[in-house]
Chain A
Amino acid sequence: MDPELIKDCVHCGFCLPTCPTYVLWGEEMDSPRGRIHLMQQHVEGTPITPEMAGHFDACLGCMACVTACPSGVQYDRLIEETRAEVERVHVRTPHERAIRGIVFTLFPYPRRLRLLKLPMRLAGRLRPFLARVNPSLGAMAELAPPPARRVRLPARVHARGPWRATVGLLTGCVQGEFFPGVNAATARVLAMEGCDVVIPAHQGCCGALSLHSGYDARKFAKRTIATFERAGVDTIVVNAAGCGSTMKDYAEILADEPEWAARAAALKVRDLAEYLVELGPVAERHPLDVTIAYHDACHLAHAQNVRAQPRELLNGIPGLKLREIAESSICCGSAGTYNLFQPEAARELGDRKAARVRATGADLLVSANPGCTMQITASMRRGGEEPIPVAHTAQVLDASLRGTAVPG
């Protein structure tokens, strides 16, 4: 933990109301200001106690505090360094170790994740039993979306109409395996807007899952960089918020290896909505008679500062009505692996978000991150009522561009 970064905090407290755990529990040590104070204590020589580790673990890493901070504290870097330190020195309970083991040997590997689909279908029925064995297993079973048929995307999708650009598409792990329709829609939208879309096979994980939990993400980062270099593209479009924010940080993650850092810096990473707005619309928009609530994924709004672009794209569709969700800057509780490792807090945040989504009266929720989609859907289902369907921005655009019905 860099003491210089800690010193940037002037203790003003402007981060408190934006922090999901402070909103839930109202405790100083579960706020960004309090956690920075704990980091300071550790730097001054206090060992990481189980209590201290608990407060770091409870941080969702949503980065809402980074947006709110007037002093420019780089909390994102601080918490990543802290998590790595916690993993290095703090001994976790056997339970915690087992769950982390399952997640980190399965999730970042699409092929292994694929094997998980059948057991997950069964797990749905076993959920009450699993929840008793371990709350994290229960959460996993609850979050799993209904199985989707695998979509094999072509290696290259050609631009419709005049060519405007060539881009690479990151297919992601969870996005690709659980929401294959989103990748297909993304490729179609890009093609209809005049892009040649290059989709390398066997992409693997971008490293987001590891990075956000204090594990080494460099192996994943290098592999992803090499994959897209081989594919001959310098712009990568990403439709999962968590992946995009990690990939934008590659140069920093690989800072100790200058050659790799330079290669990382040569790649342009763009969120889909960000890219489409930069490119400007050319394809015809067909009207969609739908009322949409747009959910700000933390790794899009806070980590990448992408808020206006998705709204601009959605508002550009004739007939579509856009509603804002109250407390839109507060995390839904998904936060990468958070809902698996901290199921109770995630559940509270999920319920809070679900209630505010329902209050909009929208027919469709739009979320640009697979984790949020699973989390909010599970929370709405838990509420007893039929969940509002959830779609990705790409799917709504796809429907408008092709003149078909909105999915969901």
Chain B
Amino acid sequence: MTELLAGRLREVLPDEAVITDPVRLRTYECDGLTYHRATPGVVVLPETAEQVAAVVRLCQEFRVPFVARGSGTGLSGGALPRSDGVLIVTSRMRRILSVDLAARRAVVEPGVTNLAITEAVRDAGYYYAPDPSSQQICSIGGNIAENSGGAHCLKYGFTVNHVLALELVTPDGDIVELSAMDAGYDLLGAFIGSEGTLGIATKITVRLSRAPAAVTTMLAAFTTIEGGGRAVSAIIGAGIVPAAIEMMDALAIEAAEAAVRCEYPAGAGAVLVVELDGPEAEVEAQFALVDRICREAGAFEIRVAASAEERQAIWKGRKSAFAAVGRISPAYIVQDGVVPRTALPDVLAGIDRLQEEFGIRVANVFHAGDGNLHPLVLFDDAVEGEGERAELVSGRILDLCIEHGGSITGEHGVGVDKARYMPRMFTDEDLDTMQLVRCAFDPRYLSNPGKVFPTPRLCGEVPQVRKGPHPHEAELF
């Protein structure tokens, strides 16, 4: 079957763009979440939308599932391949097709990295606002699939707020264009964040933002995480919307220090990175206020970046934090949950209790401004049972988020990893409603199956519900 399909794929793609060698295939077995692995049946590296469409049509013909992958940095296993399917990798579709500064938009292919867009327009005074920590490598196609966020989404919104139009290949293999200007259903909105279950984006029109006139980045060190939390609440309570407010606890600081020597203040139980941007006078006034609030909340040291390099140094510690944890722990799970900001202290205390109960360390890194937590659950995979305990703690943290009126994901997506938690958050009716949307796009359940939803339900997903063979089926068999 695979050989037959590979042969047909080679008719629509160059030879070297179809990978079937088992050793090579295995390098694609996981994305940024290594906990789940599956060797793909075939990997293809298309360079055009037409090639993507041709591959998808072949998958339909052969009735095999397909999964899209960009740079493979996702943290929910959204790009986990199917061993019985085709992995469509967009890493060769990385051209910036056009930049229109007057209209503040750029048209790019899905494999272009998030940061590459900003780099292309930075000299002209523009940037692409969403900034996941992996922005130097994560692809814009992947950002769309996961509706990725980043530190600056507190003020500027997520990917969905910065994509103006899309060209996509539907699960049927049609090339369709969606635009934010479309009348009728907001299909663009539905597609962004659909995690590859509604098709594959092949051309993306993004919004470019004007770089702010002034930026102030400050680092406030607190002896306790509660102090940091108080400062966050007070800042937001004062009506300030900073470009970003990030918090890291002592363990996360230790990791970042080991990795990039960011030289955060010694002895800090928590640090807050606060960035203010906008017109100069506004930033100055807000800075004075934030500075006072932080000191009142117990900050023992406040540093302000005096240059672009110092600003980068402050951010480097924060943005390297996930991978940096590799320095202090053999393995770890990156969790992604959301809680109302006011519930932060309770949830953090709850995480502390879990650490004690299970003997598992948790490092906390979070977008404090919008209550998006990224607890890093540390474990040693060489110790019998520790992985399972970590997994348990990780799940309990999500329970805590749900109990406090939050969500099981802020920006990493549901993927394969959290599909099983969906029923804890949604009723069957909720899930069925969502799946009806999916069925409308992908009636045969071939586009990234097994992701987002816990079990296949409705339409073609359960064999006995299928209404009869698809017209093409007869030709094939």
Contacts and interface: CB of A to CB of B under 8 A. Distances in A.
Interface string A337-365: 00000000000000000000000000000
B24 A17 contact: no
Interface in B312-367: 320, 322-327, 330, 332
Given A16-B71, A34-B27, A26 B91 contact: yes
B32 A13 contact: yes
Interface in A13-32: 13-14, 16-17, 22, 25-29
Nearest to A72: B327
Contact of B91 (A12, A14, A27, A37): A27
B23 A41 contact: yes
Contacts of A7: 330
Nearest to A36: B27
Interface string B1-40: 0000000000000000001010110111111101000000
A41 B324 contact: no
B323 A10 contact: yes
B259 A29 contact: no
B260 interface: yes
A49 B323 CA distance: 31
Contact of B134 (A12, A25, A29, A51): A12
A25 B323 CA distance: 25
Nearest to A18: B136
Contact of A29 (B24, B136, B323, B327): B24
Contacts of B32: 11-13
A28 B27 contact: yes
With most chain B CB atoms within 10 A of its CB, the pick from A22, A29, A55 is: A29
B202 interface: no
B134 A41 contact: no
B331 to A, nearest CB: 8
Contacts of B258: 72
A52 interface: yes
A264 B128 CA distance: 50
A72 B323 CA distance: 9
Given A14-B136, A17-B136, A26-B111, A70 B323 contact: yes
Contacts of B323: 10, 12, 14, 69-71
B27 A51 contact: no
B27 A29 contact: yes
A71 B136 contact: no
Interface in A95-128: none
Nearest to A16: B137
A17 B23 CA distance: 23
Contacts of A49: 21, 23
B122 to A, nearest CB: 12
A71 B324 contact: yes
Contacts of B19: 27
Contacts of A41: 23, 26
A8 interface: yes
A13 B72 contact: yes
Given A26-B94, A41-B26, A71 B45 contact: no
Given A28-B72, A37-B26, A37-B27, A70 B137 contact: no
Interface in A52-93: 52, 55, 69-72
Interface in B25-68: 26-32, 34, 45
Interface in B100-125: 111, 113, 115
Given A12-B73, A51-B21, A70 B30 contact: no
A46 interface: yes
Contacts of A69: 323
B92 interface: yes
A13 B324 CA distance: 13
A27 B30 CA distance: 14
A14 B330 contact: no
Contact of B24 (A11, A25, A51): A51
Contacts of B327: 71-72
A49 B22 CA distance: 11
Contact of A38 (B23, B111, B134, B137): B23
Contacts of A72: 258-259, 326-327
A13 B71 contact: yes
A13 B26 contact: no
Nearest to A11: B34
Contact of B23 (A14, A22, A27, A52): A52
Contacts of A14: 134, 136-137, 323
With most chain B CB atoms within 10 A of its CB, the pick from A22, A27, A46, A69 is: A27
Nearest to B326: A71
Contacts of B325: 10
Contacts of A12: 32, 73, 134, 322-323
Interface string A292-329: 00000000000000000000000000000000000000
A49 B21 CA distance: 10
B376 to A, nearest CB: 11
B30 to A, nearest CB: 7
Contacts of A13: 32, 71-73, 134, 137-138
Contacts of B30: 11
B136 A51 contact: no
Contacts of A22: 91
A37 B26 CA distance: 8
Contacts of B45: 26-27
B461 to A, nearest CB: 30
A12 B322 CA distance: 8
Contacts of A34: 27
Contacts of B28: 28
Contacts of A52: 23
A183 B24 CA distance: 45
A70 B23 contact: no
A70 B324 contact: yes
Nearest to A4: B330
A51 B23 CA distance: 8
Among all A-B residue pairs, the 9 with the closest Cβ atoms: A71-B326, A26-B91, A70-B323, A70-B320, A12-B323, A10-B326, A26-B92, A34-B27, A13-B73
30 contacts: A9-B326, A10-B34, A10-B322, A10-B323, A12-B322, A13-B71, A13-B73, A13-B138, A14-B134, A14-B136, A16-B71, A17-B113, A17-B115, A17-B136, A26-B89, A26-B91, A26-B92, A27-B91, A28-B27, A28-B72, A29-B27, A34-B27, A37-B27, A38-B23, A38-B27, A41-B23, A46-B23, A51-B21, A51-B24, A70-B323
Interface of A: 7-14, 16-17, 22, 25-29, 34, 37-38, 41, 46, 49, 51-52, 55, 69-72
Given A25-B92, A26-B45, A71-B259, 19 more contacts: A10-B323, A10-B325, A10-B326, A10-B332, A11-B31, A13-B72, A13-B73, A16-B71, A27-B45, A28-B89, A37-B26, A37-B27, A38-B27, A51-B24, A55-B24, A69-B323, A70-B259, A71-B326, A72-B327
